[in-house]
Amino acid sequence: MSISQNPQIRQDNDTALITRINSGQTDLFPELVRRYEQKLYNFGIRMCKDPQDAEDMVQDTFLNVFRYLKDFRFESLFKNWLYRVATRSCLKKKRKSRYTPDQELSLDDFLPREESAIPTQLPDWAAAPLDQILNEELGRILRQAVHELPESYRLVLVLRDMEGFSTSETAQILNLSETNIKVRLHRARLFVRKKLTDYFDHDR
């Protein structure tokens, strides 16, 4: 496992950098931006669809991080706190975006009757990042399905299946219960799977 893949090593590196920034070395803040700006932009594209909205979201996120970094108490991974700030910026941006749907879909039909019925295994389509899907048309269908999800479900799906956060981390970022995260994720996965199934059935 590389340093970038090891959460503990990354957290230690972030802690050292944030401590130096908060001690007055604000000229080091661009290094913090460099570590996460591409990841946040990818998150923004998946959530906002529009590149300009994604860029604005990243800028707003880092402005807020710079403003409130002294309040970060290392009670969680910095990345988790960062994505919580990014999520708020993204939701604010989406409310003003021309891409915001007039009416959100209802996923009530996808709600499992009991929590024990909620699967936890990662679906096949989420095993690789969107930009690694070989079939360009399938990638387009998948992206469209994700963007058709109601915002609250899309956030959970993107954070869990595409950004790689655990259920507990996603719950922390969105300030929701783990049960709520599991239910929303299950609904979202079923919706996306149905879209992909319709695509494959139509293609036969």
Q: Does the pLDDT value for residue 76 go beyond 70?
A: yes
CA distance 159 to 152: 11
CA dihedral (19, 60, 164, 75) positive or negative: positive
CA distance 66 to 196: 41
The reply to whether CATH 3.40.50.2300 applies to domain 108-203 is no
- The confidence score (pLDDT) of residue 66 equals 96
- The confidence score (pLDDT) of residue 163 equals 93
CA distance 176 to 144: 26
Q: 139-172, pLDDT tens digit by residue? A: 788 888 899 999 999 999 999 999 999 999 999 9
Higher per-residue pLDDT: 109 or 183: 183
The residue type at 41: Y
CA distance 37 to 139: 23
- Residue 9 DSSP one-character state: H
Residue 90's pLDDT band, with cuts at 50, 70 and 90, is: confident
- The confidence score (pLDDT) of residue 94 equals 62
CA distance 63 to 188: 31
Domain 3-96: state its class. mainly alpha
What one-character-per-residue DSSP string does 102-143 give?
Answer: SSPPP-GGG--SSGGG---SPPGGGSS-GGG-S-HHHHHHHH
Q: Does the pLDDT value for residue 80 go beyond 50?
A: yes
Domain ranges of the chain: 3-96, 108-203
Q: 92-141, pLDDT tens digit by residue? A: 876 555 444 434 444 444 444 444 444 555 555 454 444 444 566 777 88
State the chain's mean pLDDT as an integer.
80
CA distance 63 to 50: 20
Give mean pLDDT, residues 61-77. Answer: 93
The 3-state DSSP class for residue 24 equals coil
- The confidence score (pLDDT) of residue 141 equals 82
- The confidence score (pLDDT) of residue 202 equals 64
- The confidence score (pLDDT) of residue 91 equals 84
Q: In this structure, are residues 77 and 85 in contact, taking their beta carbons and an 8 Å threshold?
A: no
CA distance 59 to 46: 16
| Range 155-188 burial, b when 16+ CB lie within 10 A, else e | bbbbbbbbbebebebbbbbbebeeeebbbbbbbb
Q: Which of 3-12, 23-32, 150-159, 175-184 has the lowest mean pLDDT?
A: 3-12
Question: What's this model's pTM, rounded to 2 decimal places?
Answer: 0.74
